[in-house]
Amino acid sequence: MKPAIWLDGSLCDADSARVSVFDHGLTVGDGVFETVKATEGRPFALTRHLRRLARSAEGLGLPEPDLDEVRRGCEEVLKAHPVPFGRLRITYTGGLSPLGSDRGTAGPTLVVALAEASRRPDATAVITVPWARNERGALTGLKTTSYGENVVALARAREQDASEALFGNTVGALCEGTGTNVFVVLDGELHTPPLSSGCLAGITRALVLEWVGAKETDLPLEALSRAEEVFLTSTTRDVQGVHRVDTRTLPGAPGPVTTEALRIFTERAAADIDP
């Protein structure tokens, strides 16, 4: 079965789906997106993702998305292409525009697509990278399609047999990964960088804060070198332990705090598909 795609109000398959080469999302990265975990044809925390999509669109100056249409697109794609575990991608761009930074008047483009995904291992390796997140930038806190920095950083991580790269911000504080939020255990207490660090307001991050509890703390990037435990959160990773940071090994990962956080998250998520 070929994957189904929802493109501007109708279903099509991957071979027939077409977006203009003049789409502003392609030419200048003028777009926002969400990745939603789908299990047995059901999206997790979809309402929270749609709210963040709308916030990102507003922050980028895009027209307000029709969230009922987005939800309808998600339902149609999941019904047409059910998978046991998948990544549901919602992309919303500036649409057909002139070549350059100015937007056109044709209106936005909406694409919903689904791909089967692999479940993550219990623990992974990460690296730190020398490039900084700009906590004062125009796109800070928005989930946009301008992902070039993440592509470069993740490629560096792959070169070092790691699955994620972690950034500091312009003042040297721990910030986030290319597609994850980061939590650390220091002296037995769980911490994560505050949104003022420049990190994305991750959906899984928010649920861990609500369900598990953690302190939002400004931490130096060097806190990774003394943390007793480190874990990542994201839509498809849920809660994932870290067994290596750069060349430092964290034996026994996932540790007890990480294991308990994953247990609570798994139980609460199973009880409510749209928390």
* pLDDT tens readout for residues 214-238: 999 999 999 999 999 999 999 999 9
Beta bridge mates, 182? 232
- Residues of each domain in the chain carrying CATH 3.20.10.10: 123-271
Eight-class DSSP state of 21: T
Name the strand (E) or helix (H) holding 156.
Answer: helix 148-159
CATH topology of domain 123-271: D-amino Acid Aminotransferase; Chain A, domain 2 (3.20.10)
Whole-number Å distance between alpha carbons of 109 and 121? 35
CATH topology for 4-116 is: D-amino Acid Aminotransferase; Chain A, domain 1 (3.30.470)
Tell me the per-residue pLDDT of 48-84, one tens digit each, with 9 for 90 and over. Answer: 999 999 999 999 999 999 999 999 999 999 999 889 9
pLDDT range class, residue 5, cuts 50, 70, 90: very high
Type of residue found at 194: P
Q: Which band of pLDDT confidence, cut at 50, 70 and 90, is reported for residue 178?
A: very high
Give the model's pLDDT for residue 273.
97
Say if residue 159's pLDDT is above 90.
yes
Strand-strand pairing, 31-39 and 42-43: antiparallel
What is the three-class DSSP state of 187?
A: coil
Domain with CATH 3.30.470.10 in the chain: 4-116
The per-residue pLDDT for range 37-57, each reduced to its tens digit, is 999 999 999 999 999 999 999
The whole-model pTM stands at 0.95
